[in-house]
Amino acid sequence: MVIVALLGLPALGAVALALWPARAERAAQWFAVALTGVLFLLTLTLLSGRTNGVWHEVDHPWIPSLDVRLHLGVDGISWPLIALTSLIFALCALYSFRHTPSPGNPRKILALLSALECGVFGVFMALDAVVFFVSFEVTLLPMFAVIAVWGGPGRRAAARQFLLYTLFGSVLLLVGIVAATVGRGTSDLVVWASAPSGMSERGQIAIFVVLLIAFAVKSPLWPLHSWLPDAHTEAPTVGSVILAAVLLKMGTYGLIRVGLPAAPEGARAVAPTLGVLAVAAILVAGLVCLAMDELKRLIAYSSVGHMGFVLLGIATLSVPGLQAALFGNVAHGVLTGLLFFLVGAVKDRYGTGDLDRLGGIASVAPWLGGLLAFAAVGSLGLPGLAGFWGEAFAVVAAFGGSAFWRVLGVVAALGGALAAAYFLRLLRRTTVGPLGSAVVPDAPRPDVTELAAWGPLVVLALTLGLAPDLLLSLTVGPVEALVGVVGR
């Protein structure tokens, strides 16, 4: 079955690439490109047989003595992120064909990325909480190694911080899943999402708080975000792209798939606090970005703000809010993934991400200046591009609540104005004005691998911006069913 292939093929690919002969590095790169391309095509076949419930499902005994099953499936909530994952990894494999970060060894970093893809697929396809946790953990060490080995000068400290924060979140995730499984009598996520909990409200609040903190580390939610800027700054380009476009989504997706159905009464009780923290993340990230002078760190902090809108949508516990959150997840993955690819192009050509040394890029490399402008205005929420719908309707969902939620909606909208300010500031300092000290007029034009990596994200940002229902029509059914269980 396709679901089994999506887990098995990247796992086998990781082993094959790790054992690949060192003298055949180019063949290993071709193999990785072909493998990720096949996985992307397989995700598209999952669109067949769509229903209002689970589209495709695998359910086999795994640990009978603990009543744990290998329960995997795809529905309207998970498929967009599965497709985004397969696309991003395919584009990163293409990009790595000519842009392998130092110290080389493309087959080794590609083996780690293949293992990482296997883990991410497991997270998004898991319909059992134990399977979800195991898959969540599989992603930890490959990403740690990518940062620690192929990152920048401060890579080891950034990787350690990433590891410590993620391990802290993992411990809490395990505690929350075990408590919810004991309280529910099963670890099956389908049962959690379709039946009342039966636990006391106090117990549900405790479980939801534990799970919220665990997923907030990964999202990341202010004030648990401090690992992210360092990780992004030191990671190689493909590491930053995957971290922003895919791995952050594991936190917000986990909150929707695991956290809300695990303890619905707890979610309702804690939702106002989550809403306040989400809006605080939007404001704090916006203010920090206005003072930031390093390109990668600026975009990393902008991700904290964007994910704040996603978490605000989740906190409303409404159909429009969860729809906005799911759309915002995908839109952020597309646009911020594109931004990190472009930042990689800037640093490759000019050797720095320091805004004080960049300037006038559009006059010497109009193609790069134009793409930076496209990705930036998409990220600030310009109507007609993908970034608009998730953030706008998170605010709309907040306005659909009480006076408290309307206040949060107003403050979040002000945070959106901050995003416009810092992205326009970024463009003013990098693309226009006199040439910066690092900008040379004869920088290389984009090569074929860069165009192949950037093009699909540009097209997808336009398509989702102009036709959002292509995505929203997939998620509305399962979102309505989930809100029927956990909604206010």
Asked which of 66-75, 294-303, 427-436, 447-456 is least confident by mean pLDDT, the reply is 427-436
Per-residue model confidence as pLDDT tens digits over 398-423: 888 788 889 999 999 888 888 888 88
Q: What is the pLDDT of residue 115?
A: 92
Q: Using alpha carbons, select from 144, 118, 157 the residue that is nearest to residue 36.
A: 118
Per-residue model confidence as pLDDT tens digits over 266-275: 888 999 999 9
Q: Which of 82-91, 292-301, 347-356 has the highest mean pLDDT?
A: 82-91
Q: What is the pLDDT of residue 161?
A: 84
In whole angstroms, how far apart are CA 316 and each of 195, 217, 237? 21, 20, 34
For residue 3, pLDDT over 80 is answered with yes
Q: How far apart are the first and last CA of the chain?
A: 38
For residue 222, pLDDT over 90 is answered with no
For residue 186, pLDDT over 70 is answered with yes
Q: What is the mean pLDDT of residues 45-62?
A: 81
- Residue 20: pLDDT band by 50, 70, 90 thresholds? confident
Q: What percent of the chain has pLDDT over 70?
A: 97
For residue 438, pLDDT over 70 is answered with no
Other CB atoms closer than 10 Å to residue 50's CB: what's the count? 16
Q: What is the pLDDT of residue 213?
A: 92
Q: What percent of the chain has pLDDT over 90?
A: 25
Q: What is the mean pLDDT of residues 332-354?
A: 86
Q: What is the pLDDT of residue 102?
A: 61
Q: What is the mean pLDDT of residues 16-21?
A: 86
- Residue 98: pLDDT band by 50, 70, 90 thresholds? confident
For residue 59, pLDDT over 70 is answered with yes
Q: What is the pLDDT of residue 460?
A: 93
Asked which of 8-17, 188-197, 285-294 is least confident by mean pLDDT, the reply is 188-197
Q: What is the mean pLDDT of residues 441-456?
A: 82
- Residue 90: pLDDT band by 50, 70, 90 thresholds? very high
For residue 363, pLDDT over 90 is answered with no
Q: Which of 90-99, 194-203, 307-316, 363-372 has the highest mean pLDDT?
A: 307-316
Per-residue model confidence as pLDDT tens digits over 295-330: 888 888 888 888 899 999 999 998 999 999 999 999
Q: Which amino acid is at 485?
A: V
Per-residue model confidence as pLDDT tens digits over 29-39: 888 889 999 99
- Per-position DSSP letters for 185-237, written without gaps between them: T--BHHHHHHS---S-HHHHHHHHHHHHHHHHHHTTPTTS-THHHHHHHHS-H
Other CB atoms closer than 10 Å to residue 258's CB: what's the count? 26
Q: What is the pLDDT of residue 444?
A: 72
Q: What is the pLDDT of residue 230?
A: 81
Q: What is the pLDDT of residue 487?
A: 64
Q: What is the pLDDT of residue 197?
A: 67
Q: What is the pLDDT of residue 488?
A: 63
H or E stretch at 69: strand 68-74
H or E stretch at 56: strand 56-63
Q: Collect all residues with Cβ–Cβ distance below 8 Å to 322 and sequence separation of at least 6.
A: 256, 313, 314, 316, 475, 479, 482, 483
For residue 99, pLDDT over 80 is answered with no
Distance CA 425, CA 62 (A): 53
